[in-house]
């Protein structure tokens, strides 16, 4: 059998990818929205309530027990989006495999195969990038929107008006008061029994807070004009004054339109508790439900990262192997009501 058929299999591709992830740190999205698998393609989750304890009502002895009203909960049911993309082995690499197979030089074979597997792994990494982008977008705005292979979709998670606001002066304005805006948001949360423990923002947004004239005046009121504050001074102040830590989310990805974008969008600050906020829910792809059993000759399926299906298919004309990564996924957001979203650009 051709070396390409023996080597480029779903199991080998998934094994290569899993090995490559051993020393890779989990992302912010992984921590806040850990992966969960379910059957089907519908995402149903409960919003509201936030798991808060409600004090029992006092009652007199020898009286009927009062009935408690059910918490104000709503069940959201959305069809999760389907993502898939495929790649075939490059003609040059395929020819290299053909030529070196007869030599028996394992070092050369491994070198070529390593390059091929790197290309295959890019498909899975692309799926992970899509997941992180969705998680950060909903964390910042309460919505997810994208154009996937010509299919435009938007998911609105329904953020309450009391858990979002826009500043009066943009933080790029010389007269901006970002610390006052942060304090106002924290107080709005406290008035609803919520607590902010972490502020999520980009490095640019953090810089706008740090460089604002009003910030310097508050943190160093007696300093001469022109004095600045550094990152540590600002983070220390936020921790001491408001008991919140700062999480900078500054990494990037290339979107469908070829533009490099931040996972966490510019212009927002998310005020969150130090806890998981929901799940990254994977549905069952057609590849997993119909092809995983190996019932079609030349087709193999392996699952990585809870719900990303890697499918390899042997092609005979031309002789090649197609590798496809597919997933059905969407973040749930059970603790949506515990997150405050601040727009810093009116």
Each as own residue / partner, the long-range contacts of residues 19-28 (CB below 8 Å, 24 or more positions apart, any chain) are 20/121, 27/128, 27/132, 28/132, 28/136, 28/200, 28/247, 28/249, 28/264
H or E element that contains 219: helix 213-219
Pairwise CA distance, residues 132 & 263, whole Å:
7
Q: What angle do CA 244, 140, 254 make, to 5 degrees?
A: 120
Residues facing 81 on adjacent strands:
none
pLDDT on residue 71 = 38
Each as own residue / partner, the long-range contacts of residues 144-152 (CB below 8 Å, 24 or more positions apart, any chain) are 144/330, 144/331, 146/81, 146/256, 147/256, 147/257, 148/81, 148/83, 148/256, 149/256, 151/81
**pTM to 2 decimal places:** 0.86
Per run of 10 residues, the mean pLDDT along the chain (length 346 residues) is 78 91 91 90 56 42 44 54 85 76 76 83 90 96 80 85 97 97 98 96 98 96 88 97 98 86 97 96 89 83 93 86 90 94 96
Residues facing 272 on adjacent strands:
198
Give CA separation, 35 vs 26, 104, 311, in Å: 12, 42, 20
pLDDT on residue 164 = 97
pLDDT on residue 309 = 92
Nearest Cα to Cα of residue 47 among 67, 77, 80? 77
């Amino acid at each position: 059998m051709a070396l390409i058929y023996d080597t480029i299999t779903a199991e080998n591709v998934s094994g290569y990818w899993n090995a490559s992830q051993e020393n890779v740190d989990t992302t912010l999205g992984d921590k806040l929205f850990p992966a969960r698998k379910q059957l089907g393609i519908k995402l149903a989750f409960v919003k509201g309530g936030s798991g808060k304890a409600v004090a029992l009502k006092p009652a007199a002895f020898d009286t009927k027990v009062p009935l408690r009203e059910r918490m104000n909960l709503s069940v959201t049911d959305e069809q999760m989006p389907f993502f898939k993309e495929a790649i075939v082995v490059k003609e040059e690499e395929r020819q290299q495999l053909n030529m070196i197979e007869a030599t028996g030089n394992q070092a050369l074979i491994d070198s070529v195969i390593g390059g091929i597997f790197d290309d295959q792994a890019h498909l899975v990494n692309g799926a992970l990038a899509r997941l992180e982008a969705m998680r950060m977008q909903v964390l910042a705005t309460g919505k997810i929107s994208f154009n996937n292979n010509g299919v435009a979709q938007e998911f609105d998670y329904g953020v309450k008006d009391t858990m979002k606001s826009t500043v009066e002066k943009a933080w790029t304005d010389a007269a901006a008061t970002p610390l006052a805006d942060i304090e106002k948001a924290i107080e709005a949360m406290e008035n609803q029994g919520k607590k902010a423990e972490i502020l999520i923002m980009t490095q640019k947004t953090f810089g706008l807070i740090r460089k604002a004239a009003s910030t310097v005046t508050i943190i160093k009121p007696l300093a001469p004009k022109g004095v600045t504050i550094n990152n540590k001074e600002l983070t220390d102040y936020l921790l001491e004054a408001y008991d919140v830590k700062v999480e900078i989310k500054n990494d990037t990805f290339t979107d469908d339109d070829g533009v490099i974008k931040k996972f966490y969008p510019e212009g927002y600050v998310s005020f969150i508790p130090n806890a998981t906020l929901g799940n990254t829910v994977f549905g069952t792809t057609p590849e997993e439900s119909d092809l995983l059993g190996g019932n079609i000759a030349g087709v193999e399926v392996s699952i990585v990262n809870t719900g990303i299906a890697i499918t390899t298919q042997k092609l005979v004309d031309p002789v090649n192997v197609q590798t496809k990564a597919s997933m059905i996924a969407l973040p749930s957001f059970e603790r949506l009501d515990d997150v405050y979203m601040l727009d810093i650009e009116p």
